Amino acid sequence: MAFHWNRQTNHEGLLLIEDPIYPTETSSPATGGLATMIHPSPPLRNPVVIPHNSPILAGRYLQVRCELGPATLVLHNLYAPVLPSERAAFFNALPRDFPPHYLHIASGDMNCILNRDLDSLRPSIAVISGSLDLTD
């Protein structure tokens, strides 16, 4: 990914990565990791990856803080667990303690829907599971 991104941006873009987790046993969790890419000429300035030490979020959550004019912007990139039974713990482990003036953008794969009427023709329990934990 880094090769292609650098080629597209002439080595001027910014690629921020949450490393993947590789299974140590067949039953161990694995993730492909996450990447947030920032174009070389965005209005975003001084991006910094904010580390976390939560094993639940490892390989699944990347937080980048940057400046957008006078505002502080927090980019949340996440990949929620596919298994419905693991989603509540994941969403509850996400950081929530931010100064009130920060602006937030959340993106990624939540693996659930927020609105059963808008997001699915026939919502199942699997795609609804975790929705309330995500929006709390």
When pLDDT is averaged across residues 83-112 and rounded to a whole number, the result is 92
Strands (E) in the chain, as ranges, are 14-18, 34-38, 44-50, 61-68, 71-79, 103-109
DSSP-derived secondary structure letter, 39: -
How many angstroms separate the CA atoms of 95 and 91, rounded? 9
CA-based nearest residue to 31, from 90, 95, 93, 80: 80
How many angstroms separate the CA atoms of 60 and 46, rounded? 23
Number of domains in the chain: 1
Higher pLDDT, 15 or 56: 56
Determine what percent of the chain is predicted with pLDDT higher than 90: 42
How many angstroms separate the CA atoms of 101 and 99, rounded? 6
When pLDDT is averaged across residues 74-97 and rounded to a whole number, the result is 92
When pLDDT is averaged across residues 50-76 and rounded to a whole number, the result is 94
CA-based nearest residue to 92, from 41, 36, 64, 54: 54
**Whole-structure pTM value:** 0.82
Query: In the predicted model, is pLDDT for residue 5 greater than 70?
Result: no
Give the per-residue pLDDT at 16: 83
How many angstroms separate the CA atoms of 129 and 134, rounded? 10
Domain that holds residue 47: 2-135
When pLDDT is averaged across residues 107-123 and rounded to a whole number, the result is 81
Q: What six digits make up the tokens of 57?
A: 């979020």
Tell me if residue 120 falls in helix, strand or coil. coil
Q: What six digits make up the tokens of 83?
A: 């298994």
